[in-house]
Amino acid sequence: MTDPALEVINLKKAFGGLAVTQDVSLVVRPGERRLIIGPNGAGKTTLFNQISGDLRPNSGQIRLFGADITGLPPYRRAHCGLSRTYQIITLFAGDTIQHNVSLALLGLRPSRWQIWLPMSHYRDIAVEARQALDAVGLLHLADRSISDIAYGERRRVELAIALAQRPRVLLLDEPLAGLSNAERTTVKSLIASIPRETTLVMIEHDMDTALDLAETVTLLNYGRVIVDGKRDAVIADERTREVYLGT
């Protein structure tokens, strides 16, 4: 059997006396589409921050394709094929959209250390960046600054940045947050078109849209995994209704 794409084993994290992740274990198979749901404060983003390395867990282990990455800093995890987007849009506001995506490409190349030649020297980065923008339908805005474009378009730039790196595991933190209905449909079909080589783990509140994208669902509450399994089984589960759907 092949190693899971992402494995979280008995993860624990507490801020002072507040336990935000309590004994969380997850197994995500390669190519899987996993949705993580739970009420506000359930510890979803905290879990993501531990997986991406922004936060260190108190104990437990995180494995990426069998390799232990628990102690690695975020940038090393990126080189292992892990990529993420942020709930709060985190872009380079003064730069062009193409430059934003180019940075994502540069991050995985040795040329990021190169102090002689300008970015414009790397034609391949420019070409790939424009391809990534084309894939999310923003090629026509490539030379505009982030501060010039609309919120919904910024969400798509977030996605383009993550996808440009061709990650093996992609963490999407509320990719639909704050979007209009039309934009939701666009972004949803974008996420649906992500190739299977990329394993997806997604936090999303918009259940109508997100459930269509998911195959498996994990329900978190108070930092614990409440239910975990196939989508329909989790939705039908009594505990899900109790915690999340509120009936």
Partner 1 sequence: MRWITAALIGGSLLLPPFFAGDFYINLASQILIAAIFALSLNLLVGFGGMTSLGHASYLGVAAYISALLTNRYGFGHGAAAIISISGTVAMAGFFGVIALRATGLGFLMITLALSQVLWGLAYRMSNVTNGDNGITGLTRPAPFGISLENPVSFYWFALIVATMAFVMMTIFVTSAFGSSLMGVRDQARRMAALGFNPWLIRWITFVYAGFWGGISGLLYVYYHKYIHPTSLSITSSAEALLGVIAGGSGTLGGPAVGAALVLLLKNYASAYIERWNMLLGLVFLFIVLVMPTGIAPGFSRLVAKMRGERIDDRSRA
Residues that bind partner 1 (CB under 8 A): 52-54, 73-75, 78-79, 83-84, 86, 90-95, 99, 102-104, 106-108, 111-119, 121-122, 145, 161, 165
Cβ proximity to partner 1, 17 vs 116, nearer residue: 116
**Is residue 122 classed as helix, strand or coil in its secondary structure?**
coil
We find the least distance from the C-beta atom of residue 8 to partner 1, in angstroms, to be: 18
We find the least distance from the C-beta atom of residue 79 to partner 1, in angstroms, to be: 5
Cβ proximity to partner 1, 25 vs 111, nearer residue: 111
Pairing assessment for the beta strands 59-64 and 224-230 based on DSSP bridges: unpaired
CA 77 to chain centre: 13
Distances (CA, A) of 1 to 6, 26, 83: 14, 17, 25
Two tokens at 203? 């936090």
Cβ proximity to partner 1, 54 vs 183, nearer residue: 54
Q: Which helix (H) or strand (E) holds 82?
A: strand 82-84
The total number of residues written for the chain in this structure = 247
Cβ proximity to partner 1, 67 vs 192, nearer residue: 67
We find the least distance from the C-beta atom of residue 104 to partner 1, in angstroms, to be: 5
We find the least distance from the C-beta atom of residue 235 to partner 1, in angstroms, to be: 31
We find the least distance from the C-beta atom of residue 96 to partner 1, in angstroms, to be: 9
Interhelix angle 123-135/97-106, nearest 10 degrees: 120
Cβ proximity to partner 1, 75 vs 151, nearer residue: 75
Q: Quickly count: other Cβ atoms within 10 Å of residue 56's Cβ.
A: 11
